[in-house]
Every structure is written in structure tokens, then in C-alpha cells.
């Protein structure tokens, strides 16, 4: 059986330059895979290429058997892919409620993740509905970025370094949220530098280096392999 997300030989980059030199990645339906790797290895480029922000030069991306490589972002979004971008991309002058209204209008989608359900999952956002983007803490901005993606009821959620810059208590909340959406059947690709978060939520890890995936392991295998972690990530 083919995995829900099936990426083969994906090559892409910017202005003709190559960043991804042939990425292979699989994710089972409802599973969580963490993509790890040092700065600059191409993790965000991988997310951007799957989402359609960057056009691939070559390769295949299938979602539940449907080819989406090279399609437009809106087509890929409607096929069921959602993204929580690196840096969160929250708009300073817009309130939380306005962000949610825009996301709900742009991606009307059926599924379990209604506005009410999302505010139940992320109660802090409900208390901040009238606050502007630039009045939110980093953690609140991250929760808003996640809420915005969930409103589209994606079948595949791509999260790009959601823990970046957040306090440890907020990082574990992000982990809880990821576990909860996955438990409802959403497939998750979690790009992280925070190994603790990655290993606390993901069943599988894939390590990128220089534009391709050079190591795959289960969570348990990777947790038990300090030498691999040191060699591939430079962490203990």
C-alpha cells in the first residue's frame, strides 16, 4: 500500500539553482513524521515545494494517490494540504478574529475543525479574539498560525519549525496540539530543530542534509542512537 504522502525524486530550488537534489519522503495517513536537519539544508524549501510556493524542477508528490507536484498553491490547498509557515506570518494590524475570518472565507472546507472546535483546542486564542497580531506573544502567534491552517481542514498539515523562539512550556503545548490533530486522522510533517519536541510527537524521523534525506529512523531507533544524532544534527 502506498503511503498517504509519497514524495519521490523531488528537485527544486530558486532561479534555476538547485536546493532539493532529490527528496524521497513518505508519511502514513494520520501519522506524524519529523523532518530534522541543520540550518540551510532545505527543510523550508521542501515544505514550500510540497505546498506549491516553489515549483519543482522534477519529481513526484502524491497525496492519497493524486499527483500534486507542480500544481498551483490553491489547487494543492484544495487537494488537502495546509501549512503553518516558518516565522508564523501573522499580520500585525489584523485581529485574531479577522485572521480567522479571512482563513475561513478563503478555504471553505468540511471537516472536524470548525472555528468553535479550534477555539476549544486553543482556548487562549478565544480570549484574544480582539487583539491585533502585533499584540500577541510569540506563542499566541504560533497558535493563530496553526488555527488558520486547521480552518482549511487539511488532510496533510506541514508545520515549519513551530517551536522556534518559544518558551519550553509553550513548546509542549504545540506538541499537544500536533498530537491532537493527528489523533483525528490528519497526517503531519513536522519540520523541527527542537529534537525534544520532534521525538515527543513523531513516530518517524527523516534527517535532511544538503538537499536530500540522508537518514530515516523510527522515533525509538533515533532516540537510542546518540551517535547518529551527533553526526547528523550536531546535538547530544
Q: Residues interacting with ligand ADP, by CB under 6 A?
A: 14, 19, 37, 39-45
Minimum separation from the CB atom of position 65 to ligand ADP (A): 27
Minimum separation from the CB atom of position 39 to ligand ADP (A): 5
Minimum separation from the CB atom of position 23 to ligand ADP (A): 11
Q: Which of 139, 167, 162, 209 is nearest to 32 (CA)?
A: 162
Q: Which three cell numbers stand for residue 106?
A: 478563503
Q: Which residue number has the CB closest to Mg ion?
A: 44
Cα-based distances in Å from 187 to 3, 68, 180, 183, 236: 10, 16, 11, 9, 28
Q: Which is nearer to ligand ADP, 121 or 157 (CB)?
A: 157
Q: For 100, phi and psi rounded to 5 degrees?
A: -65, -40
Q: Which of 228, 137, 117 is nearest to 180 (CA)?
A: 117
Find the binding residues for Mg ion in span 85-124 (CB under 5 A). 86
Given Mg ion, ligand ADP, none, residue 142, with its beta carbon under 5 to 8 Å by kind, binds none
Minimum separation from the CB atom of position 6 to ligand ADP (A): 21
Residue by residue, what is the 3-state secondary structure of 61-98?
EEECCEECCCCCHHHHHHHCEEEECCCCCCCCCCEHHH
Given Mg ion, ligand ADP, none, residue 139, with its beta carbon under 5 to 8 Å by kind, binds none
Given ligand ADP, Mg ion, none, residue 91, with its beta carbon under 5 to 8 Å by kind, binds none
Minimum separation from the CB atom of position 149 to ligand ADP (A): 18
Buried b (16+ CB within 10 A) or exposed e, 198-219: bbbbbebbbbbbebbbebebeb
Are 43 and 160 in contact by the 8 Å Cβ rule? The answer is yes
Find the binding residues for Mg ion in span 18-57 (CB under 5 A). 43-44
Q: Which is nearer to Mg ion, 86 or 114 (CB)?
A: 86
Q: Which is nearer to ligand ADP, 29 or 164 (CB)?
A: 164
- Chain residues that interact with Mg ion, rule: CB under 5 A: 43-44, 86
Amino acid at each position: 500500500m502506498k503511503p498517504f504522502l509519497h514524495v519521490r525524486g523531488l528537485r527544486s530550488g530558486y532561479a534555476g539553482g538547485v536546493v532539493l537534489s532529490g527528496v524521497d519522503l513518505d508519511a502514513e495517513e494520520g501519522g506524524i513524521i519529523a523532518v530534522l536537519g541543520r540550518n540551510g539544508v532545505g527543510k523550508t524549501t521542501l515544505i514550500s515545494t510540497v505546498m506549491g510556493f516553489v515549483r519543482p524542477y522534477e519529481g513526484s508528490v502524491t497525496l492519497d494517490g493524486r499527483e500534486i507536484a507542480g500544481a498551483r498553491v490553491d489547487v494543492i490547498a484544495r487537494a488537502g494540504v495546509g501549512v503553518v509557515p516558518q516565522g508564523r506570518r501573522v499580520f500585525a494590524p489584523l485581529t485574531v478574529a479577522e485572521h480567522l475570518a479571512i482563513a475561513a472565507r478563503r478555504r471553505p472546507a468540511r471537516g472536524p475543525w470548525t472555528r468553535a472546535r479550534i477555539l476549544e483546542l486553543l482556548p487562549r486564542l478565544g480570549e484574544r479574539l480582539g487583539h491585533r497580531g502585533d499584540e500577541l506573544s510569540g506563542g499566541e502567534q504560533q497558535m493563530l498560525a496553526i488555527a488558520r491552517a486547521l480552518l482549511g481542514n487539511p488532510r496533510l498539515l506541514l508545520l515549519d519549525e513551530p517551536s522556534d523562539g518559544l518558551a519550553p512550556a509553550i513548546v509542549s503545548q504545540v506538541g499537544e496540539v500536533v498530537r491532537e490533530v493527528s489523533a483525528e486522522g490528519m497526517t503531519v510533517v513536522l519540520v523541527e530543530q527542537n529534537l525534544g519536541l520532534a521525538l515527543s510527537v513523531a513516530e518517524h524521523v527523516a534527517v535532511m542534509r544538503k538537499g536530500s534525506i540522508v537518514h530515516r529512523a523510527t522515533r525509538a531507533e533515533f532516540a537510542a542512537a546518540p551517535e547518529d544524532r551527533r553526526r547528523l544534527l550536531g546535538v547530544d
